[in-house]
Structure 1
């Protein structure tokens, strides 16, 4: 028993060991892989002359990767005087010089792959007030430059607002010319008129992107150029300014703008107008006041109708010499619907054009659009199927009432008129054989008018004379015997109004 217990315990212990070993192997295998980057993404590092800088290699992997450093493509080893790769994989640079600036790469490699981390080391010499990025060239340090960011040449921030090169202004007016730009270092700007320097920044002052001209005279007409530059490059733009003595016409709003617009509630509505004018006009958007109880000081009257003045947006310039202005409403509501006016004015007068904004509510939208979205039927099918059904119903109703009318007619004739026996369609053989006999002729014919009583062998059969007349009428009218009998009875009652007895035999009681 004790031996069996020991065997069982030994087996259990082995099983536990195998389970632990298998789980350890699984965890180990799952952790194996190529190196991974775990840094903060700051690739530009700033160092100062005669200081120490440590560049980390933020990677991890299992197995731990082999670390190799390079500067400008050249491997760093023990022969480098002030560079040393540390045990944790980082690079320490002592007694930094300007020549140490440049591109550094940390490459981590293990059996599953490799990864590289790039750095740009910028060295600043505080004593000489210079900066080096590549270790070979230096430039003057400027408080306008952000050394933690890569340098960039100047570029205009709003080139779309600088399309209008020619600007016309009246005498005694004012004008602002703008050439805003960005770059690293922050660009400087200079202004020139007719290629002669007009304005440049003063020492120690931030550059101004706007040139202001007031009380313009005709002598101020000319070419105004802005030149924007930094150590990495420059850009420029030229305005053609014309100062005129008098404006000859008022602004003209060009059709078809503004256009009638329909939007759903909650969407963005946009109205635009296009103006042709000798000079830049004043453009104002207005909305008609439909509520007579509405009162505001911010209203004007046009064509005897009150309009509320809306906030104006910046005027743009078209490439064809026209002026553009857009009015935008975000998240429109039903209250935003109505009539809007674009008004353009100058010293000679004003012009305006109107447009209507229609705002559909969500309820209105669902009422009309939902069935269309759920239906796959086209318009002809939608109209044709109900129309065909209606036509069939009308035809069936017409046939039904026609049949009912005939039935009522027959029933009325039978109920209201005398009841006659059916006229045979074929003459019986005894009758045909007895047409030469006077006895049979007397027995068949009954004349109720003279009151003569005879034995009727063939009750309900008319005389041969009447029989022949009936057959002729039957062949001509091609009607049934019952229908013909009814018509004959009605006809004879009209021919002999003094007698109500017909010359036909009745069925006796």
Structure 2
């Protein structure tokens, strides 16, 4: 007897353990709508039947409750009651009366989550009237060439409506005929197997610029016609390639053993394809940045990136010079900017590019006057750092950009770029003259000086 009890207890324990294992291995899931896109508004004539569905899935299977105007909806609240199909989450009300009008909310939940959706039900007396179109539909649309567009038209009618979609067109440079009615082309009309729901949506696929214009939803029944229009604006989203960050540098002088990076990132629609070439021969590298590590003299040459899509082509060429590494004082690049004339309020940029080994230290200075003198007792000039200075360094090559924004007459004067390392010092000096608008007009009349829209004039020497 004792053995039998132990065996029975063991069986119960095994079943309980099995149940726990089963529950732990099941996938739990909060409620989710089977059909996320559900209507919100129903307008139904008296004596008709309405079916409002709130079908949802979940694990465990969620329960559903219906509320009318915020209160739990029970069968004794309505003469004739109602039906609920639990497996589809559908509320069915037959023989509608005006008092059935209101907001019906379904709430589905399990212990992992909760969902709700509200239907607005309008019950109207049967009376002969033309179709009613929901206000604001169809709505104006803006879309890109090649995309798809949907126009929606909600139609309410107590007798079977006939729905058509029309596009307004131009004939002989006119959008209306001799009778004053618009020229239109029928795009969609009801067929034998077409439902009202299908007719309420007009879909335009892979649109072109020619699809732009006015579209009308036309609904009629035996009592009259209603219509509502919307406009489609189509824009060309195609873009030729454009540099993300234009690189003005074309010549790179890099010591042996160092790394150089050439950037050619571009945008466009569609995204452009990229090819790299060295001295005209294609390189098997299709990344936006070409990286050459531990450069050697054999790496010297012209590196060209070509970016292209169906709407245009861009290219940029870098010249790589590989130099044998040897200590040298800063070497100023040839062709540095010369003196400038600028108008009050404009922006001015000076660039100073140098190379040296070890890497040079570079600064800009503005010459100033103190107590009527430009120099101190040791004949060194009085200087101060200017406003904005930007350094770009790469492998023993330094480029310093001096930017003077919204210049005033006080910014006029002499500016020096000073570059130094352990091997020596190099300098480059430029002059800036700042004038007002009146002086600019006088200058332009008296000399062939050309000034850009930025009011920065050509150099003089």
TM-score in terms of structure 2 length: 0.38
Q: From the two aligned structures, give the one with the greater strand fraction.
A: 2
Q: Higher Cα Rg: structure 1 or 2?
A: 1
Q: Using CA pairs below 8 Å that are at least 6 residues apart, which structure has the higher relative contact order?
A: 2
Q: From the two aligned structures, give the one with the greater helix fraction.
A: 1
TM-score in terms of structure 1 length: 0.35
